[in-house]
Amino acid sequence: MEKQIDLFIEMVKSEEFIEAHEVLEVSWKELKKVDQTEANIQKGLINGATAIALKIKGRDRGAYQVWDTYKKYQPLIKETKSPYKKKYEESENILEKMYQKYML
């Protein structure tokens, strides 16, 4: 799973938002079976990347709706005891920067 999170981070940094969504979706599906809280963190990150991709494609309304889903799950990052917390925080910071760049 760490490899997928790292790849997600690199893809978001490279502005490959759809690809970032797809790579993290693999671990999210597995997590849903064993840890719903951590699965929701990843679901939020997936939605953050998806929202930015939608905005770039000119689908503003959908972009902001999906971003709201990211924001719904974002507080879980602070609360988690996951060994991947630092990587989730890094993902959060990068998504917020991309939000500033593309969605404001």
| 51-90: pLDDT as tens digits | 999 999 999 999 999 999 999 999 999 999 999 999 999 9
What integer pLDDT is reported at residue 33 of this predicted model? 95
* Residue 39 pLDDT: 97
Asked if 91 contacts 44 with a C-beta cutoff of 8 angstroms, the reply is no
User: How distant, in Å, are the alpha carbons of 38, 60, 61, 67, 93 from that of 2?
Assistant: 13, 32, 32, 24, 17
Q: Which amino acid appears at position 25 of this protein?
A: E
Indicate the burial class of 88 (C-beta count within 10 angstroms; 0-12, 13-18, 19 or more).
buried
The mean predicted confidence, pLDDT, of the chain is 97
